[in-house]
Amino acid sequence: MTNTLIDTVQLNFDTDAQWVLNVVLAFVMFGIALEISVNDFKAVLRTPKAILAGVCSQFLLLPIVTFLLVLIIHPTPSMALGMFLVAACPGGNVSNFITHFAKGNTALSVSLTAVATLFSVVMTPLNLQLWGSSYAPTADILNTISVSPYDMVKLVALLLGLPLLLGMLIHNKFPNTARQMAKFFKTASLVFFIVLVFLALYNNRDIFMQYVFCVFWLVLAHNILAFTTGFSIAKLFGLSKKDTRSITIETGIQNSGLGLILVLTFFDGLGGMALITAFWGILHLVSGLLLAGFWSKKPV
């Protein structure tokens, strides 16, 4: 891809809208955490192999295969950095619902969401810095912008870690109230978040339409690779069909909302990064639901 104009384009997303996006993502995580208990972490001790497979798939293998994909197809530097960022994010907010729809192991999915969210506070900035610095074109962007991994850790902790701990605390103290609150927060905040992403794309529709075909095929290939990575590692670990479905979905459904916020906060809405991340947020819902629909008709 020789057209590098997108590397100089910045998406128009004002400061107020960015703050709203931050708050909404925190509420999405809070809504998920209201259904997570300490027992979910105890489940990690009962099924360590499945949890280990899921964590390795998300934070080790997916960034590696993403790096190899970038070396093969040579996308523009900002798009490549967007791919590294998506691969560095934890599992997406709807992975638990899609896993349930796919007749996977929902308890494992919830446990992985909790563990991956805690890990992401350190692993997301670390993976982005590691793989972004390992590829010369994206290393130039990181050097130019001078992103502080420490500042990124603080933001991820604030947006994901704090809501997770607060939601779990309420679940532990007031379980019935937490279940009622979760129904509202998960649905309302997720819908609002999707609307904000669509608005971001609509407000930048000229840029989006110019690069939509390039972005579509790039995100599609990356997303298929993510699902394949999760499926392969689960099979390699010899996991059951239910666990395999869970880990496949957890790896293929990334928290692109977190990624978009990081692009807007630390990279000033850099065109290729923002388009890759925002479009991933749409496409992975479609691909995840299609895969879940297929699996839902197949006996476990």
- Percent of the chain clearing pLDDT 90 (strictly above): 32
Q: Which of 3-12, 55-64, 116-125, 241-250 has the lowest mean pLDDT?
A: 3-12
What pLDDT, on the 0 to 100 scale, is given for residue 87?
95
Angle CA 283–286–289, to nearest 5: 140
**pLDDT of 96 above 50:** yes
Identify the pLDDT of residue 230: 95
pLDDT at 174: 86
Out of 11-20, 212-221, 265-274, least confident range:
11-20
Residue 6 scores a pLDDT above 90: no
Per-residue pLDDT of 138-169, as tens digits, reads: 998 888 776 677 788 888 888 888 888 888 88
CB neighbourhood size of 10 (10 A): 14
Higher pLDDT, 7 or 163: 163
Task: Determine the pLDDT at residue 1.
Answer: 43
Average pLDDT rounded to a whole number, residues 262-285: 83
Q: What's the pLDDT score for residue 196?
A: 67
Give the pLDDT confidence score for residue 2 in this predicted structure. Answer: 41
Between the ranges 55-59, 206-210, 296-300, where is the mean pLDDT highest?
Answer: 55-59
Q: Indicate the average pLDDT of the chain.
A: 83
| Fold of the domain built from segment(s) 13-293 | Na+/H+ antiporter like fold (1.20.1530)
For the entire predicted model, the pTM comes to 0.85
pLDDT over threshold 90, residue 244: yes
pLDDT of residue 234: 95
